Amino acid sequence: MAAIVQFENVGLRYGTTAETLRDLSFTLARGGFYFLTGPSGAGKTSLLRLLYLDQRPSRGTVRLFDQDVAAIPRDRLPAMRRRIGVVFQDFRLVPHLSTYDNVALPLRVAGLDEAELARPVNEMLDWVGLSDRARARPATLSGGEQQRVAIARAVITRPELVIADEPTGNVDPEMAGRLLYLLEALNGLGTTVVVATHDLHLLGRVARARTLRLDRGRLSQPAGAGRHSAVPA
């Protein structure tokens, strides 16, 4: 299967500090489902930042959509990022926009006519259980509700790659299962999904998923290989 992401001997350093990520080499197949795990401080967020083009590597090569990230001109980065849906751990909702308008934002950026927005946005809000909160502003939503808005916004355009940082961290187990099912269903349509999580119970809930485990900035083989094993290059 073709690769959507390739890391070759990648290192990441902030300023003059020691490297946060070291010697990462792995491949993510197009259409795969991946969990990213590891203890706090292992470098998961830094790895995600490389994936969604918020950071460039200090050394090594990152290829995304068959392109060397270091060679992408800055004026082309916005178009590249539109191929990626991101669920941030701190949500990053637009505070003055309603739930509806936050979810609709990627479709508007993509140039969809207003007449075409209502159906997909309302269907997505219904799926994440927020139809009755469509006009609410982020400040009036609970943490779990904001999490669901963030997920709906990330997947509304059916991007090629979805990156989710602790997407079930602020919801109850029933909603966590529902959101994971949404990501799995999107994956079934061909979207590559990467989910960073501390919740090890999630790892066995997606049969075809594989696991990348970080430990102090390096990939480590998880205990119990098999279908949840890491995917080295």
Ranges of each domain in the chain: 3-228
Q: How confident is the model over 80-121, as pLDDT tens digits?
A: 999 999 999 889 999 999 999 999 999 999 899 998 999 999
Question: Residue 111 burial by CB count (10 A; 0-12/13-18/19+): exposed, middle or buried?
Answer: exposed
Q: How confident is the model over 158-189, as pLDDT tens digits?
A: 999 999 998 888 788 888 888 888 899 899 99
Helices (H), 2-98: 44-51, 77-81
**Integer Cα distance of 183 and 32 in angstroms:** 11
58 pLDDT higher than 90:
yes
Residue 169 pLDDT: 81
**Integer Cα distance of 194 and 189 in angstroms:** 15
**Pair 212, 26: CB distance under 8 Å:** yes
More confident position, 67 or 202: 67
Residue 152 pLDDT: 94
Q: What is the mean pLDDT of the chain?
A: 90
Q: What integer is the mean pLDDT of 55-79? A: 94
Number of Cβ atoms within 10 Å of the Cβ of 131: 14
Q: What integer is the mean pLDDT of 218-231? A: 53
222 pLDDT higher than 50:
no
**Integer Cα distance of 96 and 79 in angstroms:** 25
Contact partners, residue 132, CB within 8 Å, separation at least 6 = none
Tell me if the pTM is above 0.85: yes
CATH 1.10.357.10 fits 3-228, yes or no: no
Phi, psi of 140 (to 5 degrees): -95, 0
